[in-house]
Amino acid sequence: MSKTQTTSTSYKSKSYLKITGILFYPHTNSQEWLTSDDIEMILKQNQIFDNISLASKPRVIKVSSKSDMSITWIDIWDVQSGKNAKMLINRCFNIGKYIATIWGANMNPGILQCKNCWKWDHATFSCRVQGSKCVKCNGPYKSKNHCEFGWCCKDNDKINPLRLKTKKGDPCPHTFKCSNCQGDH
């Protein structure tokens, strides 16, 4: 690294932003959701991001299971005064017929995910859900009890092919159902 590169890098810090107003399913007539690559392409197409460098991959979540909108967190390289972030905060930009808004955000090494209801953007201690939800099937029991109470791990002789009970101590062999997007991950 040259001396000029060392000098310019030493003054860099990260700023943290959140973008709202972008569709979670941006592709017409498709159930494909928004990816970090899609966000990077959107940012490259908007001139307000011309001199902005991302410090990490954007992180995208669905606002809620009943919403078609997303929240995106981006970390940008900035100067110590936060000049780049200040220039972007509270600005809006168009994505097709939608208007996205940029907000300031706290340092967020990852997006909070509650270990009680498995929803994003709040911690377990502040969860408002009474009881627990299973991470595997969203059932009303703790994840450690999934094989005991989960419908997918119980015998069912009324379907074809027959579903046999998962043996005690074996992990669930079935596909998970995400409580946020209802996807199979």
Taking only the tens place, the pLDDT of each residue in 145-166 is: 877 887 778 777 777 777 778 8
pLDDT value, residue 182:
66
For the cut 90, the answer to whether the pLDDT of residue 141 exceeds it is no
In this predicted structure, the answer to whether residue 128 has a pLDDT above a threshold of 80 is yes
Q: How confident is the model at residue 4 (pLDDT cuts 50, 70, 90)?
A: very low
Predicted confidence at residue 180, as pLDDT, reads: 67
- Ramachandran angles phi, psi of 109, nearest 5°: -65, -20
Domain ranges of the chain: 13-104
Decide if 59 contacts 75 (C-beta within 8 A): no
Percent of the chain predicted with pLDDT > 70: 86
Find residue 19's DSSP bridge partners.
Answer: 72, 102
Q: Residue 100 above 50 pLDDT?
A: yes
Residues 6+ positions from 145 with CB-CB distance below 8 Å: 134
Average pLDDT over residues 68-88: 89
Written out in words, the top-level CATH class of the domain with range 13-104 is alpha beta
What pLDDT digit, counting tens, does each position of 24-59 carry? 887 766 678 888 899 999 999 999 999 899 988 898
Report the distance separating Cα 136 and Cα 126, nearest Å. Answer: 21
